[in-house]
Amino acid sequence: MAHSDETLNKDGGQTAADRGSAVRRVFATHIPAWILLVAVAGPVATALVLTPWRGHLDTGDNALFLVVVIVAVASTGRRLAAVVAALTSALAFDFFLTRPYNSFRITRQADLITELLLLVVGLAVGELAARGRTHRVAASERSDELALLHSVTELAASGQQPRLVIDAALAGLQRLLSLRDCHFTPRDPGTMAARITPQGVLTVGGESWSTQDLGLPTRRVDLPVRGSGWLLGHFLLTPTPGKSVSHQQLLVAVAIADQVGAALAAEHSTPATRA
């Protein structure tokens, strides 16, 4: 039942998925329609409300009202929505609140500077808010991943029966990777195209697969279980199509499998096969 691990891209080059990853990440995050609606309608509505006083208020004051709208949209943590709000605010400020009114022309240098500052501040606030949201989500995910790994490690370290450790690992893997199904087999599953390497990299047919952008392949994925240098079984994973999986999550999955391997190795002092 010996297996050799698949390697990464043999030529070290980027795959097509890797080259387009940045673009996909921008559009992969779902943004509720109401947030985009507020990002467009909010600045326009605010500028319209300010039009009766546009001849009395300084343009800087008007810009501050629009900054409040941008901050409100950015507080959702959606970078794209904040960018839309910043651009819409700049256009609304130009059209409704600067002379000549109801025109995209600007005749005063001070108004032009104010509009540019409004745009820059809006984009900066949106970026900061998006990064803050990303960090909060990442911290929450890391905490959940550590809790799952700890629960399996604790069972393995306490000398529990391997079946109990396997059951805990199955539940942990299904939750960690958002799987449709997951089961363990001590037997050779045969040739499987998709496999998770000990380095936490998914390979399909010998080529690396970008799980961050594409999720796990829709067919079964092999997660080998090793202990004391021996290959002792396999977790066969049935993914949820399109569900993004980070490299960190794959590393945690490998660590969970290693804990099961340690429990099995402790029970079987004479393994039959080498990894």
Angle in degrees, CA 148, 149, 153, rounded to 5:
125
Mean local confidence (pLDDT), 243-267? 94
The predicted pLDDT at position 29 comes to 52
The predicted pLDDT at position 1 comes to 39
The tens digit of pLDDT for each residue in 40-53 reads 999 999 999 999 99
The predicted pLDDT at position 151 comes to 92
The predicted pLDDT at position 271 comes to 46
pLDDT at 4 over 50: no
The predicted pLDDT at position 6 comes to 37
How many CB atoms are closer than 10 A to CB 161? 11
The predicted pLDDT at position 5 comes to 38
Q: How confident is the model at residue 270 (pLDDT cuts 50, 70, 90)?
A: very low
The tens digit of pLDDT for each residue in 89-131 reads 999 999 999 989 999 998 889 999 999 999 998 889 888 888 8
The tens digit of pLDDT for each residue in 54-96 reads 878 888 899 999 999 999 999 888 889 999 999 999 999 999 9
Mean local confidence (pLDDT), 236-250? 93
pTM: 0.59
Task: Give the Å distances, CA to CA, from 67 to 61, 125, 132, 196.
Answer: 10, 9, 19, 47
Q: How confident is the model at residue 15 (pLDDT cuts 50, 70, 90)?
A: very low
**Average predicted confidence (pLDDT) for the chain:** 85
* Sheet containing strand 221-227, strands side by side: 181-185, 230-238, 221-227, 194-196, 202-204, 207-208
Q: What domains are defined for the chain?
A: 31-135 (no CATH), 159-267 (3.30.450)
Q: Which tokens in the block code for residue 122?
A: 């809006």
pLDDT at 24 over 90: no
Beta bridge mates, 234 = 185, 224
pLDDT at 19 over 50: no
The tens digit of pLDDT for each residue in 144-196 reads 888 999 999 999 999 899 999 999 999 999 999 999 999 999 999 888 889 99
